[in-house]
């Protein structure tokens, strides 16, 4: 029709909506229109798969519940931790079906984690039950622990693979008895050793802590690289045995017969390097 109004189709402008979230931790999306009016609130369900859940058990240790991880690989066999938890096959919980051969429920304890050192202690002032000092080395979650007994009480030296802080703790109440903080900026052996006093801190026990720390520190420094599968020397001589027994206390380095409560300075000079 000539001269009449044009019959163009009316343009429908699309509605512009804005999606907001109250916070990063909120799983509810609030949808607003262009006028700023709340139109819809959508609550998205949480994806529970692949999320690590933490539960506090009766013990102070935290239990990890991971669906794709075999929980029994975190258990301990006879007090020793399972080192092959990373390479263990992923089995469903419960007994194995009879259609396939039955696998071991727990990995076999290898010799690297089951090491014990026994030697009669050179402390004549102690009673008969302290003649034998047993030190057991444990390695779990990048942490080294050296357990030993003293006067019917269990103690342990604890450190990680960084070898920066050493703590000797009483296992009954996890009370710190002695600690050594290494200053990594001033050499390998630069640091400060603190021994806390108490009625249990006799001169004999203090000397034992100092001697045991020096031996533990030297052994860890020498075997820190070799224990993880690397070799520190370049010549053709064979690598040192990784399953060696860590000598924690050497009677030849004590001076109880001469000066009670002191450490022989020969300890620092006689470095047992083979």
Give the burial string for 163-176 (b: 16+ CB within 10 Å, else e).
beebbbbbeeeeee
Please list the pLDDT of the chain residue by residue as tens digits (274 residues).
566 666 766 655 566 677 777 776 677 777 777 778 777 777 766 555 444 444 443 433 333 333 333 344 444 444 444 444 444 445 555 665 555 444 444 433 433 333 333 333 443 434 444 334 445 555 555 677 887 778 778 888 888 777 788 899 988 888 899 988 877 776 666 677 788 877 788 888 887 888 778 777 766 766 554 444 434 444 444 444 333 333 333 444 433 333 333 344 444 444 444 4
Look up residue 17 and give its DSSP letter. Answer: -
Q: With contact defined as beta carbons under 8 Å apart, do 144 and 160 qualify?
A: yes
Angle at 155 between CA 56 and CA 253, to 5 degrees: 150
Domain boundaries, the chain: 115-269
The span from the CA of 61 to the CA of 136, in Å, is 21
- Which residue in 102, 120, 106, 109 sits closest to 251, CA to CA? 120
* Beta pairing class for 191-195 and 175-182: antiparallel
pTM of the model: 0.36
By CB atoms closer than 10 A (0-12, 13-18, 19+), residue 146 is buried
């Amino acid at each position: 029709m000539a001269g009449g109004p044009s019959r163009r189709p009316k343009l429908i402008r699309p509605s512009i909506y804005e999606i907001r979230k109250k916070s990063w931790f909120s799983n509810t999306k609030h949808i607003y229109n262009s006028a700023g009016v709340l139109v819809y609130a959508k609550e998205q369900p949480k994806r529970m798969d692949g999320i690590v859940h933490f539960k506090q058990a009766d013990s102070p240790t935290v239990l990890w519940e991971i669906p794709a991880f075999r929980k029994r690989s975190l258990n301990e066999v006879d007090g020793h931790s399972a080192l092959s938890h990373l390479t263990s096959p992923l089995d469903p919980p419960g007994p194995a079906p009879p259609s396939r051969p039955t696998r071991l429920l727990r990995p076999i304890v290898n010799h690297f984690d089951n090491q014990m050192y026994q030697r009669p202690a050179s402390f004549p002032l102690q009673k008969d039950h302290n003649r034998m000092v047993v030190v057991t080395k444990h390695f779990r979650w990048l942490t080294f622990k050296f357990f030993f007994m003293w006067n019917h009480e269990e103690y342990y030296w604890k450190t990680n693979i960084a070898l920066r802080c050493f703590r000797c703790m009483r296992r009954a109440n996890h009370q710190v008895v002695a600690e050594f903080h290494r200053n990594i900026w001033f050499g390998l052996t630069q640091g400060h050793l603190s021994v806390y006093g108490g009625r249990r801190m006799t001169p004999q026990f203090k000397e034992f802590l100092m001697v045991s720390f020096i031996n533990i520190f030297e052994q860890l420094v020498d075997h820190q690289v070799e224990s993880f599968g690397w070799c520190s020397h370049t010549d053709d001589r064979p690598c040192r045995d990784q399953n060696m027994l860590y000598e924690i206390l050497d009677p030849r380095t004590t001076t109880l017969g001469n000066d009670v409560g002191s450490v022989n300075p020969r300890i620092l000079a006689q470095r047992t390097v083979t």
